[in-house]
Amino acid sequence: MAIRNLRYEGDEILKKKSREVEVIDDKLQILIDDMIETMHKYNGVGLAAVQVGILKRLIVIDIYDDNGPIVLINPVILKTKGEQEVDEGCLSFPNEFAKVIRPEEVVAEYIDREGKKMRVKAKELLAQAICHEVDHLNGEVFIDKIIPGTLEYIEPDKDK
């Protein structure tokens, strides 16, 4: 396992649409493990493959709820319900936070790392994370969706 280099604001790759994953092989499993390790190193809730420079429809999410990280290959949001105003940040936009409107609930279909077709009904933080990461796969970043006037830059704590 290895920590991957993150791509940051201004990197053209973040605006590109990711391609479907065709094969779940050892190389993809290594990428998945590296993405989980990278997400945890930077205390992220989610990470899309594009954020480590790979244009594949692959995301990892961990809402730190004892269920461990989930891996979504070729995720598709089938349904959304309600809306919630949420504070959001992104590992590709360090120390930047803003308010975004996201669905309260989503139903998504995806393939897990074993190749099984799965469906998840997600609420609150998990729904938010799925929407945020699927946006990345479509070349969209949260900065494009913020409620005007809510963007804040938080100075990093120099003692940490």
Looking at the annotation, which residues are catalytic? 133
| Token output for 100 | 């975004």
- Cβ-in-10-Å burial (0-12, 13-18, 19+) of 94 comes to middle
The b-or-e profile of 44-74 (16+ CB within 10 A means b, else e) is: bbbbbbbbbebebbbbbbbbeeeeebbbbbb
* Residue where the block lists tokens 């309600």: 82
CA angle (83 as vertex; 82, 86 as ends), nearest 5: 150
